[in-house]
């Protein structure tokens, strides 16, 4: 990819961008001067699709007009509401329709998955994670270990970057698995690390772990809607993701879960059941048939009936993903992020360093930038100039040019502020 530094180049890229029309389908927050903000925080909270409001209105009308009958009446009856996500979710994560379900929220789903897929024995009780994982994942894993009477100091193994480095080496993951795999019950990794933006080699981690007899789950919070996923073909045992980052499903949106088909009908798996995971034919006969009969597939891990309004926003967003398609999205993503990298490379190399992998196959759209001096001042001037990005004190800013709604001019403007602040 050949890039140029001038603004004209950015304008020209936007004019010929095949996805340019999608930006108008979102509400773009405003900068302090009233113009559109340069929103690079879609890895934290994705923007609102304009279609959400009308779709929510439809559900409110169905509730107003039908009351309880809305479970079976109206445009999208609530009784089967979650089923409409199976196929679109499958397209996002590379799964068959019976392998995905939208339910709860991410950390809750990680717990529910661990109830079924973390079964420590005397000889095989450990969990392997990346360092540093997102805090919620670490809390979830540590409290699961406590729940099983285990001490995280003994039973939690973390793969750290080598001394002086920021990224976890695939080689080091495989060495740990080769040396200690027989003691590891579960490998739980992020798909894309939230902090560094490193995309892990999920198929290789899965193969190496399963070869040692471990089960493998991925937290796809920063991967879903950002990079290509093929969970079924990779043979991943389970995964969970949130729908409010790249997937634009709104704050606290209902999460997603993947359970591989090989586990679909297993009756030996422990789980925390509830009526919505039960066979719908007998679900309402609970006073007559009191035994929990999980429905096959990911659906069988549901507990409660789903929050319809929350799912409605996710529906609006998934419709857009289906319209654009992950392949097209990833094409633009690679180019837009490479352009950002190119412009950062023109800046003061002593002050700025991209810590995200340089290899486009090992990252999504986020770049994490180490700012050697004056990080806080830089973030303040970016904010004043209408750039929304994420600052992780003391010295990392994370910027995510999201291909669905960000432009080449957004990227150019960001780099310009970085350059001016440096010299100012």
Q: Which residues make up the interface to ligand PLP (CB under 6 A)?
A: 105-107, 134, 136-137, 190, 194, 219, 221-222, 242
Q: If you write DSSP's letter for every residue of 48-73 in order, what string do you get? A: PBTHHHHHHHHHHHHHHHHGGGGGTS
Of 5 and 136, CB closest to ligand PLP: 136
Of 10 and 192, CB closest to ligand PLP: 192
Would you call 407 helix, strand, or coil by DSSP? coil
Of 176 and 224, CB closest to ligand PLP: 224
Of 222 and 232, CB closest to ligand PLP: 222
Q: What angle do CA 89, 275, 75 make, to 5 degrees?
A: 55
Residue 67: Cβ-neighbour burial (10 angstroms; 0-12, 13-18, 19+): exposed
Whole-angstrom Cα distance, residue 203 to residue 262?
17
Of 125 and 221, CB closest to ligand PLP: 221
Of 250 and 294, CB closest to ligand PLP: 250
Whole-angstrom Cα distance, residue 185 to residue 218?
14
Q: How far is the CB of 240 from ligand PLP (least distance, A)?
A: 8
Q: Which residue has the tokens 């949106």?
A: 253
Q: Cis peptide before 120, with omega less than 30 degrees from 0?
A: no
Q: How far is the CB of 246 from ligand PLP (least distance, A)?
A: 10
Whole-angstrom Cα distance, residue 331 to residue 323?
15
Residues 6+ away with beta carbon under 8 Å from 74? 58, 59, 62, 65, 66
Q: How far is the CB of 260 from ligand PLP (least distance, A)?
A: 20
Q: How far is the CB of 365 from ligand PLP (least distance, A)?
A: 14
Q: What angle do CA 277, 232, 183 make, to 5 degrees?
A: 85
Q: How far is the CB of 134 from ligand PLP (least distance, A)?
A: 3
Q: How far is the CB of 194 from ligand PLP (least distance, A)?
A: 4
Q: How far is the CB of 34 from ligand PLP (least distance, A)?
A: 30
Of 10 and 106, CB closest to ligand PLP: 106
Q: Which residue has the tokens 């509730």?
A: 63
């Amino acid at each position: 990819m050949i890039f140029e530094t001038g603004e004209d180049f950015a304008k020209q890229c936007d004019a010929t961008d095949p996805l340019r029309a999608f930006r108008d389908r979102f509400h773009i927050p405003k900068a302090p001067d009233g113009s559109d903000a340069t929103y690079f925080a879609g890895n934290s909270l994705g923007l609102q699709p304009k279609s959400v409001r009308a779709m929510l209105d439809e559900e409110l009308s169905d509730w107003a007009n039908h009351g309880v009958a809305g479970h079976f009446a109206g445009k999208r009856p609530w009784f089967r509401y979650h089923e409409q996500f199976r196929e679109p979710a499958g397209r996002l994560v590379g799964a068959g329709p019976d392998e995905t379900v939208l339910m709860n929220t991410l950390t809750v789903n990680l717990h529910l998955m661990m109830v079924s897929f973390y079964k420590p024995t005397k000889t095989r009780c450990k969990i392997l994670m990346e360092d540093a994982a997102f805090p919620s994942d670490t809390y979830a894993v540590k409290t699961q270990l406590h729940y099983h009477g285990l001490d995280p100091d003994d039973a939690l193994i973390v793969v750290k970057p080598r001394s002086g480095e920021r990224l976890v080496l695939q080689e080091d993951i495989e060495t740990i698995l080769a040396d200690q795999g027989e003691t590891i019950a579960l490998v739980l990794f992020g798909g894309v690390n939230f902090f560094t933006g490193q995309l892990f080699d999920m198929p290789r981690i899965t193969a190496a772990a399963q070869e040692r007899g471990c089960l493998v789950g991925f937290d796809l919070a920063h991967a879903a809607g950002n990079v290509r996923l093929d969970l079924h073909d990779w043979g991943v045992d389970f995964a969970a993701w949130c729908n409010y980052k790249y997937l634009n499903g709104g704050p606290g949106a209902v999460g997603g879960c993947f359970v591989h088909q090989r586990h679909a009908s297993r009756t030996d798996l422990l789980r925390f059941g509830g009526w919505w995971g039960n066979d719908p034919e007998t679900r309402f006969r609970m006073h007559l048939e009191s035994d929990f009969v999980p429905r096959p597939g990911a659906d069988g891990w549901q507990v409660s009936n789903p929050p319809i309004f929350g799912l409605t926003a996710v529906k609006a967003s998934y419709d857009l993903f289906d319209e654009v398609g992950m392949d097209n999205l990833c094409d633009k993503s690679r180019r837009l992020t490479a352009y950002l990298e190119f412009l950062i490379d023109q800046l003061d190399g002593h002050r700025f360093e991209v810590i995200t992998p340089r290899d486009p196959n090992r990252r999504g759209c986020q770049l994490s930038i180490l700012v050697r001096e004056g990080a806080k001042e830089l973030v303040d001037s970016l904010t004043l100039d209408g750039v929304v990005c994420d600052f992780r004190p003391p010295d990392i800013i994370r910027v995510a040019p999201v291909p669905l709604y960000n432009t080449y001019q957004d990227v150019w403007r960001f780099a310009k502020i970085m350059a001016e602040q440096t010299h100012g």
